[in-house]
Structure 1
Amino acid sequence: MHFLKRTPAAPALAVLGLLMTATAAPADAAAADAAAPASAARAAPPAVSCAWPAVVRPGRLNFAFPETNATYWMMPYRLAAGDRLTAQGTYPAARFTSLTTYDAKGAPVDSLADRQMTPDPGSRNPFAQEQAGTDTARHRYTVTVKPGVTAGSGGNTLAAGAGGADSGTGFLVLRIYVPDNEADPTGGVPLPALSVRHRNGDTSSVKTCPGAGSAKGAAGPLAQFLRQRVQEDRAAGGFEGCGNSTAKAPGFALPKKASGYFPNPYNKYLCTPVAHEAGRIVVIRGKAPTFPHTSDGQSVLTRTQVRYWSLCQNQWRLPYPATSCAGDFQTAVDKDGRYTIVVSTPQDRPAGATTANRVTWIPWGPTDVTGILLFRTMLPADGFHQAVQDVGKNQNPATVMGDYYPDISYCAKDRFAEGGAAACATSAQAGRSG
């Protein structure tokens, strides 16, 4: 990836540029390998004309394992020694927000979760302070992206490059999960205002892209570039599957490798491939971690086991789009706090797979491609040790997570219709339920 070098007299946006590539996403992984060899050259970027030019969400820029209950805004940057990129924002009315810097390959550099962002003088942080009130004018924060500092420096500062490099090239990504108003992905506040302070002391503001904050925000000029970024990583082995799980014998495991996909540092994932067969469904069962019901007015400061968890059905083909998700607040549980999730095509949905029966159904999506189920947990509480975050590299997640492990099995549609989830349980699942 090549960036335009900026001189002090050049326009501010000259340091904030990327070039989109025009390669479309191939239909399957084999085509991707052929279309994007590891040695593929990267085009030089054009200038970005506004802030937050790429909006990642299913239905817009659906790439790299997104979440249907979250929206990500992306801003490319190149900062020379002495430059600063500043984001002045308002804490959203939402379950979670964060600002994260990534390198040019999509690997995390530094991050601040909502509760770590110190509010501006006269403001309060509703993610960290009780009785913060509802006046958004008093919910302000300022975060600065700087070269020459190391990750975790604090003081509302994000490192622009890995290892404290004197200059930084990468992306700033804003995430918002589960806004209180589902129709407003920004959580009822404007997107953070961006400005660049140059080493000569000049400051230039960057106007927000038109429509970037709307539910139908434009995918932006980076869309094709980012898809190509995923293709190049695929050729280099960026996503290699889920432990020893196969579509014939699914089982949730840690991903073998998932570099280059702008992962959320506050989530950790289990995944498994699944394959469609007519008349067959997927059944996932487990104990649900407790979470703050923010969409019902509960504070994120409520003592719970995790901030968020979900199960998503993605497609194992570039650019790894999401088909559907069941977020924690969308998932039915029984009297013991256990969930049953059914994944199937609409025509194979069993009659009993309804919320009234404490069963959550999500659609399979395209049946001509292997699916990837992703189970994620976010920000587990210090005293909760059965989240995905507690699973070590060589550990069995089922052993670590116990009842909270998402057991999975294939089941005939008719068998589920006749006997419910219990009729589909494996011996291990039956033991957990008992």
Structure 2
Amino acid sequence: MSIAHDHPLHSWFWPAVHGGDPFWNIWYSEPNCRYWLSQVQIPQGATLRLTARFPHARYASYQTYTPQQRSIDMLTDHEWTPAPGADNPYRAGADRAADERNYTIDVVAEPVPTEPSDRRPDTLYAGSAADLDYQTICYRVYLPDDGRDVTGGVGIPEPELHLADGRVLVGDEAREVLALGPGHKYRLRTPFPSLTDYLAVRDQEAAPLGFPATNPLHWQLFIGYPQPASDYTGESVPEPKDAGGFNDNRDTRYVYAHVSRMHGEVLVLRGKMPTTASAPNGETRMPGDVQTRYWSITQNESFYTQRGTGVLCDQDVPVDENGWFTIVTSTTTDRPRNATAENGVAFLPWPQNGDGAGDFDYGLLVLRNLVPNPDFAEAVGQIPWVGDEKATMGDYLPTATYMSRQEFEALDQDVTP
């Protein structure tokens, strides 16, 4: 169902919207998520104040980055202090549909304090103004509630610039002083500098069938952009200080797997779904005892284009009485007749353009846990290093079986155990 945009999606301060089509679709944007980016010059001693309302959505956050798109600081929805008389709907037990949901966040051009106790409340640190030409701010909203637009039905945050001398600037005056940078023109960072470089490693001689996909499927913890190049070259994986990538979200971690229809026209995934903050029965309170706030699996093009093409999130996937799911991913043409929700099966379409560079059999699966509970021992974020995926995640890491459409259709109509 198409939802009308009840609020402006851009402003002078938020000039670009990232996400699945029809938005700027790069960086493997989760199709249920939208990202707003701004790049500004905050004067020394000034505070950039963002005034907004908590979105009607599963998740929201603010994060700051270096010009190289590495994370500096982050504030997640449940950490924001509501305005007097308002409620924070993301805290355990809170009313998710509360009417009063105002808040403010301050952004300062200062380094993150070494001691957490030295942090100012509701303050996002964007790095020293002396060290950075611009301060880069990202605002995210995941999975708006049914019937809400991509902003979660509340619009995008409004900026005020509070200068050190006490003046407060808005509108064109603030825009002139903040001197917007080129953040909305970020180039696509990729492990492959050019299409020629990508094709050279993809189409190398003596590559095995479906390369770089394997059968059996091979899940890997994502640890940063040097890693995908090693999937093609065989070079050893570097050891970055932090798992993630350019514009990584500290609240989520990923496992990924190259897949190919050369191994079978239908890929069947079986695994256990963690408990989440989905509200299938109209629950009005935010739960506090779930294993992860949000779960999803996506199909994507290659690490060259980094386009997200399809998504299933927790509320889209039927599960049996023990929490197990079955997902089929294939082209829509090869979709088995019994791959339906009525039969307990979720369907994830294969990327229409394959890898986005001529290999129409290619796909890339990415599985996310967003805001996992620290006590969820099988969460993606608990994986110590590449190679420890199955030992850590157990049944929460899906198994995968390639087969033909006819083979899947020969299964019982109700394929759940």
Q: So what's the TM-score if we normalise by structure 2?
A: 0.77
Structure 2 SS opposite 1:371: strand
Q: Does 1:257 align with 2:231?
A: no
Shift of 1:187: 1.3
Shift of 1:141: 1.2
- Measure, in 1, the Cα distance between the counterparts of 2:329 and 2:15: 34
Partner of 1:235: 193
Residue of 307, 310, 320 corresponding to 1:324:
310
Shift of 1:204: 2.0
Structure 1 SS opposite 2:407: helix
The 1:387/1:273 distance shift into structure 2, 3 A limit, reads same
Q: Does 1:176 align with 2:141?
A: yes
Shift of 1:167: 5.5
Summarize the alignment of residues 19-418 of structure 1 with structure 2, pairs less than 5 Å apart.
50-59=12-21, 60-128=23-91, 130-132=93-95, 134-136=97-99, 138-150=100-112, 153-161=119-127, 166=130, 168=132, 169-206=134-171, 225-226=185-186, 228-231=187-190, 234-235=192-193, 246-249=212-215, 250-258=217-225, 261-277=246-262, 280-294=265-279, 296-298=281-283, 299-365=285-351, 366-367=353-354, 368-369=358-359, 370-418=362-410
CA contact (8 A) 2:223 2:245 kept: no
CA contact (8 A) 1:352 1:417 kept: yes
Q: Give CA deviations for 1:166-220 in whole Å, capped at 9, x if unaligned.
A: 554232111111111355111121211112233444332248xxxxxxxxxxxxx
Structure 1 SS opposite 2:369: strand
Opposite residue 268 of structure 2, the aligned amino acid is V
Which consecutive unaligned segments of at least 5 residues does structure 1 have?
1-47, 208-220, 424-432
Structure 2 SS opposite 1:347: coil
Structure 2 SS opposite 1:88: strand
Q: How many residues align?
A: 355
Opposite residue 93 of structure 1, the aligned amino acid is H
Shift of 1:50: 0.3
- Measure, in 2, the Cα distance between the counterparts of 1:131 and 1:279: 46
Identity %: 29
- Measure, in 2, the Cα distance between the counterparts of 1:183 and 1:157: 28
Q: Give CA deviations for 1:90-109 in whole Å, capped at 9, x if unaligned.
A: 11111111111111122111
The 1:105/1:351 distance shift into structure 2, 3 A limit, reads same
Shift of 1:155: 0.6
Partner of 2:230: none
The 1:99/1:261 distance shift into structure 2, 3 A limit, reads same
Partner of 2:208: none
The 1:248/1:421 distance shift into structure 2, 3 A limit, reads farther
- Measure, in 1, the Cα distance between the counterparts of 2:368 and 2:67: 25
- Measure, in 1, the Cα distance between the counterparts of 2:220 and 2:135: 30
The 1:167/1:373 distance shift into structure 2, 3 A limit, reads same
Opposite residue 81 of structure 1, the aligned amino acid is Q
CA contact (8 A) 1:253 1:397 kept: yes
Q: So what's the TM-score if we normalise by structure 1?
A: 0.74
The 1:235/1:83 distance shift into structure 2, 3 A limit, reads farther
Structure 2 SS opposite 1:51: coil
Shift of 1:70: 1.4
Structure 2 SS opposite 1:261: coil
- Measure, in 1, the Cα distance between the counterparts of 2:93 and 2:313: 26
